[in-house]
Structures are given as C-alpha cells and as structure tokens.
Amino acid sequence: MPKDWIKKRKREHYYRKAKKAKYRSRAAYKLLQAVKRYRFMKPGDVVVDLGAAPGGWTQASRKIVGSKGFVLGVDLKQVEPFNSSNVKTLIGDIRKPEVAQQIRGFLPCLANVVISDVAQNVSGVWELDHSRQIDLATHSLRIATLVLRPKGSFFVKTFHGGMLDDFMKLVRQHFAHTKRVKPKASRAKSSESYVLGTKFE
Ligand SMILES: C[S@@+](CC[C@H](N)C(=O)[O-])C[C@H]1O[C@@H](n2cnc3c(N)ncnc32)[C@H](O)[C@@H]1O
C-alpha cells in the first residue's frame, strides 16, 4: 500500500474522529494519546493550556479533569467560550512577562499541569521555524516554572533541529523526569514532537 495513501487515511481518520466527538481540533487526540500513555493529567487537576485556540486541547483536558478540576486556555486569539463553569479563557501573548501573573490570577491554586501547543504559522524555512518554535517552547517553560506546583507536569510542542538538545537540558533543570513524545495522531512527516517534563522541582 503506498505510504502517502496510508498517511492521508490516518489524517482523515483523526479529522473524522474529532468531528464526530465534537472536538474543535484533531490535535485533541495528540494530547489524549500522550496522557493515556504517560498519565500526567488526572481528575481534579488544575490545567493551564497555552496556545489553546480553537480549543481542542482545552476540551480534552476538561474531559480528563472532570467537574472537580479547572482548565484555563490562553491564546493570542479569542477562544470561543466553553459551556462549562470550570473552563476559562484568557487572551494573552505568552512572550509577555506579565502573562504569568495574569494566569495566576485566574487559577484557584497553583497548576498541576501546563500544556503548550503554541505555534506560529510556519514560514517553510526549516531553521527559522525550528528556532521560533524553540523560542515559544522556552517562553512556555518560563510560565510553567511560575505557575506549577511542586511535582507538576509540563507538556510542550517542539520542532526537531539543532536547538532541541539545549532546550531538553533546560527542561531537565526544572523537572526530575523528561521525555520526547511523538503521539500517533501527530503526522509522521511533520518535524513536530513534544517534550514532557514530570515532577517539577
Ligand atoms: C496549533 S494551534 C493550537 C491548537 C490547540 N491545541 C487545539 O487543540 O485546538 C497553536 C496556537 O498557538 C497560538 N499562539 C501562537 N503564538 C502565541 C503566543 N505568542 N501567545 C499565545 N498564543 C500563541 C496561535 O494563536 C494558535 O491558536
């Protein structure tokens, strides 16, 4: 069977699945698969979702944390509101120093988990896109260190490239365990992968 055909079918599979389950993005499955495998989010958790629009990860997080948890979605763009009292959204640029404080103001307590799918539109210039993504991941890490409680978890999007090892080293300075994660729902062809840090210290 031609490889491209298989990949296209996989893409359509998650697209259809997300549509049927009423997730706002197929990306919801990347988070759900990672949590299923590594169990870094659980019922009752307080979650900060950076780069939340259109809201697929926020919905998936709400499903996991349940009615006793809390989810805050942050994005440059307005995220369509959710019909759930324990899900809030905030318009903000994660590169701005004051955003961490604004996030803290929304949370009922320090967060158990910070997830970040933040990404800009890709330029097609591989090195530029890689360094921009690492820059955004570094801002996400900075926010995580300011809003997470001890032993909390951090899950962030990165693109492969020369700066990834240094970024992993930075994550290791704050988390006892780190791991590179490529969920099945993430396109094999894409240079995207995620970094998971657990046991914030
Ligand atoms: C791939 S989308 C996230 C998809 C989301 N996880 C979902 O499941 O619906 C990336 C998001 O990052 C946001 N973003 C990019 N740069 C940002 C920044 N500096 N601060 C906050 N959000 C940003 C974009 O507006 C975009 O909505």
Asked whether residue 128 is domain-assigned, the answer is yes
Instruction: State the residue range of the domain holding 91.
Output: 27-200
Average pLDDT over residues 134-143: 98
Structure tokens at 17: 């699945």
Above pLDDT 90, what percent of the chain?
Answer: 89
Q: Which atom of ligand 1 is nearest to the CA of 24?
A: 9
Q: What are all long-range contacts of 57-60, with beta carbons under 8 Å and residues at least 24 apart?
A: 57/25, 57/27, 57/28, 57/31, 57/115, 57/117, 58/82, 58/87, 58/89, 59/22, 59/23, 59/24, 59/28, 60/23, 60/28, 60/29, 60/31, 60/32, 60/35
Report the C-alpha gap between 196 and 22 in whole angstroms.
26
Specify the pTM: 0.95
Residues in the ligand 1 pocket, defined by CB under 6 Å: 24-25, 27-28, 51-57, 75-77, 93-95, 117-120
Indicate whether 6 belongs to any domain: no
Distance between Cα 2 and ligand 1 center (Å): 33
Q: For residue 189, what pLDDT is reported?
A: 84
Q: Number of structural domains, the chain?
A: 1
Query: Which CATH number goes with the domain that contains 97?
Result: 3.40.50.150
Assess whether pLDDT exceeds 90 at residue 10: no
The pLDDT value recorded for residue 190 is 87
